[in-house]
Structure 1
């Protein structure tokens, strides 16, 4: 019996941070952006990136073995190039660039996850607040560069989900959409582009609104998507047929989650709906490992915040007055939890 057992999965998971850090460092160094211009030898790539000779060939061959690079040939004359995925998603000049999330993981989250054990023992955040006492968002918003990085990270991790929401959800009965916690205006722009009859508003704090207006203008959507300053725990929710929250509900404890859902219910007309886009954990809590890990990340970031299942959302929605709910699968571990008034 024991002869058929293998420790491989245990060892691979236990050392998974090795591969993770190799990818994160590659994004930080701009490996995939440099190779987007064309194949290079290991030595050419080393010089372009300003690396020590010890990095060659181990670093690039590691990325090859992990499936993030391709290589033609052997030895010193071998040339490295991007895979189709890294060319599309990790070249900083690509419209589909999603490296912002990886940049934030490298700059912030990687070291914070080193204190996961302490978070599990204490239930306390292990991010900036651990050292300064300041809440996460206060720290982010005081540093414009860090705030831009965070906004880029959220855009990168959300693009696939928001695109599929715009494609798969039937927006035809509705005329207005308000995206609460809209960050760069990405969700509002994607939905408006797909559904020309909709007028959308992206709502976030004043410092974020400045970023959103710039990003909306870059997308050429300023005529149909408006960005407005908004504090969703203090300002009244705007009247809209659809209220969306992209990766917002999971940032809060249960009391705050219910508060946001009640405020959305009050602002919606009969027949309107609330759409919460998150990495919903499967109801049996067995399969969506990313959703569960994201919930642990919320522990590290906020302490009492957590991700949730579709059944959780349905129960809360009915508690605050919504008449029915559904879950719409999106990209990978992401889903939209939808509540109808």
Structure 2
């Protein structure tokens, strides 16, 4: 049984990094063999928007690709703020250079993972939403066939995603306690493990898990197994359209990275409006550097998110701007586990 009270003895972060590392191979091969990024920049540096236009990429895939290349140490801003090749990239990744290895990298150009990533970069659409591909989306949105709406696939995905939550939830609850909170709302809470971890630390706390009906069947079972079913309410709904359940602390844990900027601004605004004065919104997620040059593990995870959802990893500055726009004052990020941290904001 999942135990929401005990953090892992060893840190699973390297395992997550190994798993997500294949995105590095795919992104580098795409940049070299499909988009000609290094050949283009060898001719002249480009501003991000100029390069994006040349590559015929929407903003989201362009951010994912360029952030990874910067995190690899292959691109860097020049004195005018334009994207330029680093010495390493200029020596080894420009076709025709004496020590060029782009042909070697090109051996993977037709690998299925590379081809699929290139298709997603070009279309700006995640797995399960491109007409030529089979499968249902990993996310729920009105009008989109979602695995989260079918009992068997919803259970499988919810429990699979709990692989991260069961490691991180006890750490989050320990490093960011909620001694003053009365009601916690876990938006898109899945298994409810984050809420359950806090419930077990704070006996007077009440919690609400707000998610899709099939997902909540799993949360109900896990709450009962931990003996907190009487203090955890499962509320089905659509977080973009239904009224936000009332709470004085709202948690968005690994939710915003599933969505693009307009949806995130909307969701944060809706949560902020539902909070009472003095209430808190907690953004628990991974964070890119504000310069969009790493950290490398988060840049690679961003590519994974891009491939499976409508989102990517975001920077702390991006989150702070959305929180400020919604009338919230953000604090400092408190690190948890697996490159995650919690960014608190108060109304």
Please tell me the TM-score bracket, short chain as reference. Answer: 0.5 to 0.7
Question: Is 1:340 matched up with 2:346?
Answer: yes
Shift in Å, 1:236: 0.8
Shift in Å, 1:142: 4.7
Take 1:175 and 1:142, find their aligned partners in 2: how far apart are those partners?
Answer: 31
Match of 1:146 in 2: 153
Matching residue within 244, 268, 292 for 2:299: 292
* Residues 332 and 343, structure 2, Cα contact 8 Å, conserved in 1: yes
Match of 2:121 in 1: 120
Which has more helix, going by share of residues?
1
Deviates more, 1:149-158 or 1:290-299: 290-299
* Residues 127 and 135, structure 2, Cα contact 8 Å, conserved in 1: no
Match of 1:200 in 2: 207
Match of 1:7 in 2: none
Over 3 Å counting, the alpha-carbon distance change for 1:207 and 1:311 in structure 2 is same
Take 1:296 and 1:186, find their aligned partners in 2: how far apart are those partners?
Answer: 25
Take 2:147 and 2:197, find their aligned partners in 1: how far apart are those partners?
Answer: 25
Over 3 Å counting, the alpha-carbon distance change for 1:241 and 1:125 in structure 2 is same
Q: Is the partner of 1:279 in helix, strand or coil?
A: strand
Shift in Å, 1:276: 1.6
Greater RCO between the two (CA within 8 Å, min separation 6)?
Answer: 2
Question: Is 1:236 matched up with 2:220?
Answer: no
When the two structures are superposed, what TM-score results if normalisation uses the length of structure 2? 0.62
Task: Note the residue ranges of structure 1 that are not aligned, 5 or more in a row.
Answer: 1-15, 22-109
Q: Is the partner of 2:314 in helix, strand or coil?
A: coil
Shift in Å, 1:231: 1.4
Take 1:19 and 1:334, find their aligned partners in 2: how far apart are those partners?
Answer: 15
Q: Is the partner of 1:280 in helix, strand or coil?
A: strand
Residue correspondence of structure 1 range 26-175 to structure 2 within 5 A: 115-127=116-128, 129-130=130-131, 131-132=133-134, 135-137=137-139, 139-175=146-182
* Residues 127 and 300, structure 1, Cα contact 8 Å, conserved in 2: no
Q: Is the partner of 1:174 in helix, strand or coil?
A: coil
Deviates more, 1:131-140 or 1:239-248: 131-140
Task: Note the residue ranges of structure 2 that are not aligned, 5 or more in a row.
Answer: 1-16, 23-110, 141-145
When the two structures are superposed, what TM-score results if normalisation uses the length of structure 1? 0.63
Aligned length: 237
